[in-house]
Amino acid sequence: MTYPCADENSAGREVIFGDGFPTPSGRGRMTPAEVLPPDETPDEEFPIVLTTGRLLEHWHTGSMTRRSPVLDAIEPEPEVHMAPETLQSLQIEAGAMVRVVTRRGEIELAARMDPKLPSGLIFVPFCFYEAPANYLTNPALDPYGKIPELKFAAARIEVPAAAE
């Protein structure tokens, strides 16, 4: 069902506000956003961008979904997702144990090839207590919304000595 609905039996409209916005003029008000640069950018020491987020099977911190045998069986282990070019440039095979390091800490987890990611960007899900991705993120606050910059951090990948 798509909002708005004309009545309780309506399936809704395919396009929201297709006939105008709910304003006196019927026109929407658009406000441009100024894009601010990230607080921390990649450099020689931390050349890769780290972003964190959810997995389909563990859509929050994993506090409930990791207790579900069905969901946990689909995504049971923490992995750092990397583009094939990133794996190749670091001479790492998919499945190898790696260390993701930022200015705030480090975690060890397996490398996973993800062709949907651009080269130079890595993704770590934050649902695994064994590899707490949020320890790596940048707590710098947006100057306007006061929201922490948890989705962009400079990082590097290392191969743990035991895995070499």
Give the tens place of pLDDT for each residue, 23-45.
999 999 888 888 889 999 999 99
- Number of structural domains in the chain: 1
Residue 128 located in a structural domain: yes
Least confident segment among 57-71, 93-107, 129-143: 57-71
CATH number, position 82: 2.40.40.20
Whether 129 is covered by a domain: the verdict is: yes
Find the helix or strand (DSSP H, E) in which 87 lies: helix 84-90
Q: Which tokens in the block code for residue 81?
A: 């997702």
| Placement of tokens 């993701």 in the chain | 100
- Confidence at 8, pLDDT banded by 50, 70, 90: confident
pTM (2 d.p.): 0.79
Domain of 56, in residue numbers: 48-163
